[in-house]
Amino acid sequence: MPLGFEKHDHSTCIKDALETAESYCASENLQLTKTRRRVLELLLHEHKALGAYDILATLSKEGLGTQPPVVYRALDFLVANGFVHKIEKLNAYSACTHPGQSHTPVFMICHKCNAVVEAQTKPLRGFLGVAAKAAGFLIERTVIEAVGLCPTCQENTPA
Partner DNA sequence: TATGTGGTGTTATATTATAACATAACGGAT
Partner DNA sequence: ATCCGTTATGTTATAATATAACACCACATA
Note the residues at the interface with DNA (CB under 7 A). 30-31, 33-36, 51-53, 64-70, 72-74, 77, 86, 91-92
Q: Nearest CA to 12 among 44, 55, 48?
A: 44
Q: Nearest CA to 40 among 81, 1, 101?
A: 81
Size of the site for a copy of itself (CB under 8 A): 39
CB-nearer residue toward DNA: 12 or 33 = 33
Cα distances from 113 to residues 37, 105, 152, in angstroms, run 26, 20, 9
Residue 4 binds a copy of itself, judged by CB under 8 A:
yes
Residue type for position 32: L
Q: Nearest CA to 107 among 84, 126, 127?
A: 84
Residue 110 binds a copy of itself, judged by CB under 8 A:
yes
CB-nearer residue toward DNA: 33 or 156 = 33
Q: What is the DSSP letter of 3?
A: S
Name the minimum Å distance from CB 19 to a copy of itself.
26
Residue type for position 122: K
Candidates 108, 114, 156, 158; binder of a copy of itself (CB under 8 A) is 108
Q: Which residues bind a copy of itself (CB under 8 A)?
A: 3-5, 88-89, 106, 108, 110-111, 117, 119, 121-123, 125-128, 131-132, 134-151, 154
